[in-house]
Amino acid sequence: MLFVEYLDASVDNSKSIMLGGMFWQSIYGQYTQFGYSGV
């Protein structure tokens, strides 16, 4: 499953790309595994 979600652009708060928790989790994961230069 890919947590890429459809946002209904007829609503104002669904008109911009949303980067959610998994995005930050990924950066934190790379940081803790490979150090800051690995991010």
The residue ranges that bind other proteins (CB under 8 A) are 1-9, 12, 14-26, 36-37, 39
Q: How far apart are CA 23 and CA 39, in angstroms?
A: 12
Instruction: Write down the least CB distance from residue 10 to other proteins, Å.
Output: 8
Q: How far apart are CA 39 and CA 36, in angstroms?
A: 6
Q: Are 7 and 14 in contact (CB under 8 A)?
A: yes
